[in-house]
Amino acid sequence: MPVDHKPPTSAIESAHREHALPWDDTTDFDNADRGFIASLSPCVIKAADGRVVWDNDVYAFLEGPAPTSVHPSLWRQSGLNAKQGLYEVVPGIYQVRGFDISNITFVEGDTGIIVIDPLVSTEVAAAALNLYRAHRGADRPVVAVIYTHSHVDHFGGVLGVTSQADMDAGAVAVLAPEGFTAHAVQENVYAGPAMTRRATYMYGTLLERGPRGQVGCGLGQSPSTGEVAIIVPTIDIRETGETHTIDGVEIEFQMAPGTEAPAEMHFYFPRFRALCMAENATHNLHNLLTLRGALVRDPHAWSGYLTEAIDTFAGRADVVFASHHWPTWGQEAIVEFLSLQRDLYSYLHDQTLRLLNQGYNGVEIAEMFQMPPALDRAWHTRGY
């Protein structure tokens, strides 16, 4: 949406310059590029009627130093999020990133593929599957879909990778945490129109892309705008420690309800020594109260489930990946990453309560709140 842009004020320019950021740590750039196989060119995805539902190329301006109109950390984060294409996480696990606000992951089984979180909309999910098949072979059918949690950017594109008919025929299993369907309907159907309107403001969807418009939202660039659908799960995951074998691939599950989503789960693949953390350990400080009005997240419970994930899986994992951003490789780096994420939400919870009980109100707490040095030095603990 074209609008008249004002230049940044001197106060904004000064505030942006004053931020001390760990620019010497370039690990995220290495990890975001690691395993790159191919990109989609042009990365412009259209609906059947010709309408553009995703345009990643519009973010080509995200190069060089941050302009004075954009916070340097957001500029850096958006540049990382705008990297798009097919990536190998480990042999047998592949992600397509940069096709939506979220990632889609393909896990290769004995004969087919397991799809994790098929993005927001049908068209982008189908394009991601096509890119995967162009470079990994078209002979593997989709045998299962896993929804990590009940937000639309993790299930809305399901019809781009499978069909209701295949599910009804028993050719495809759909796995999700217990309570998924109820919470997905409550947020996206009952409150859908209001949530969608608010999300437009939250993500700046209608703003022109550019250094004085929409740059990114930290968690990703922006949601796609294609067809949204849902297939009701055929398998509800109910307990931590529950295991399922899909197409020869064993999966160990950890329940994480009431965290980033009311119905959410983590899971581990022993064959690949790979841990999926859904949206509970990403490369940012996640919002706890969303502008669109999703249920408020419980940072105390969130940190507890991260501790459980560290204790249960970290010693067996060579890589941790999530439904947003890029993976982290190596056991030492995994433990550090998950531990800092855990400490981030725990500290936010504990210190907010401490200041609240001392008599400060919400605005005062926000103005007083400071991260300890260990959290302040990490890129992935920053909010956007």
Structure tokens at 208: 């022109």
Q: What is the pLDDT of residues 213-243, one digit of tens each?
A: 999 999 999 999 999 999 999 999 999 999 9
C-alpha to C-alpha distances, 187 to 39, 92, 150, 183, 196, nearest whole angstrom: 33, 34, 9, 6, 10
Q: Is residue 52 part of a domain?
A: yes
In the predicted structure, residue 23 carries a pLDDT above the cut 60: yes
Domain count across the chain: 1
Bond from prior residue into 233 cis (ω within 30 degrees of 0)? no
Write 302-308 long-range contacts (CB < 8 A, 24+). Answer: 302/256, 302/259, 302/260, 302/345, 303/342, 303/343, 303/344, 303/345, 303/346, 303/349, 305/254, 305/256, 305/259, 305/266, 305/280, 306/280, 306/281, 306/338, 306/341, 306/342, 306/345, 307/342, 308/240, 308/254
At 196 the pLDDT is 85
Structure tokens at 138: 């078209």
Residue at token pair 């068209």? 123
Please, is 170 exposed, middle or buried when counting C-beta atoms within 10 Å of its C-beta (0-12, 13-18, 19+)?
exposed
At 83 the pLDDT is 99
In the predicted structure, residue 1 carries a pLDDT above the cut 70: no
Q: Is residue 249 part of a domain?
A: yes
What average pLDDT score do residues 344-360 get? 97
Q: For the chain, what is the radius of gyration of the CA atoms? A: 20
Q: Is residue 4 part of a domain?
A: no
At 205 the pLDDT is 87
Which amino acid is located at 326 in the chain? Answer: W
Q: Is residue 104 part of a domain?
A: yes
* Phi and psi at residue 192, to the nearest 5°: -55, -55
- Output 195 or 107, whichever has higher pLDDT: 107
What average pLDDT score do residues 109-138 get? 98
pTM equals 0.95
Which amino acid is located at 199 in the chain? Answer: A
At 2 the pLDDT is 60
Q: Is residue 46 part of a domain?
A: yes
Q: What is the pLDDT of residues 253-292, one digit of tens each?
A: 999 999 999 999 999 999 999 999 999 999 999 999 888 8
At 44 the pLDDT is 99
CB atoms within 10 A of CB 34: 14
Q: What are the residue ranges of helices labelled H in 287-330?
A: 299-313
Q: What is the pLDDT of residues 166-210, one digit of tens each?
A: 999 999 999 999 999 999 998 878 888 898 889 888 888 889 999
How far is 223 from 343, CA to CA, in rounded Å? Answer: 29
pLDDT band at 3 (very low <50, low <70, confident <90, very high): low
What average pLDDT score do residues 34-61 get? 98
In the predicted structure, residue 72 carries a pLDDT above the cut 70: yes
At 20 the pLDDT is 74
Q: Is residue 39 part of a domain?
A: yes
At 132 the pLDDT is 99
- Output 293 or 29, whichever has higher pLDDT: 29
Q: Is residue 316 part of a domain?
A: yes
Indicate the average pLDDT of the chain: 95
Residue 282: CA count within 13 A, CB half-sphere: 25
How far is 179 from 240, CA to CA, in rounded Å? Answer: 14
Q: What percent of the chain has pLDDT over 70?
A: 99
Structure tokens at 325: 């951003």
Nearest to 221 by CA among 68, 83, 345, 43: 83
SS3 content of the chain, % helix, strand, coil (to 5): 35, 20, 45
CATH number, position 60: 3.60.15.30
Domain membership of residue 122 as a residue range: 10-15+22-381
Q: Is residue 350 part of a domain?
A: yes
At 18 the pLDDT is 65
Write 199-202 long-range contacts (CB < 8 A, 24+). Answer: 199/223, 199/291, 199/292, 201/291, 202/290, 202/291, 202/292
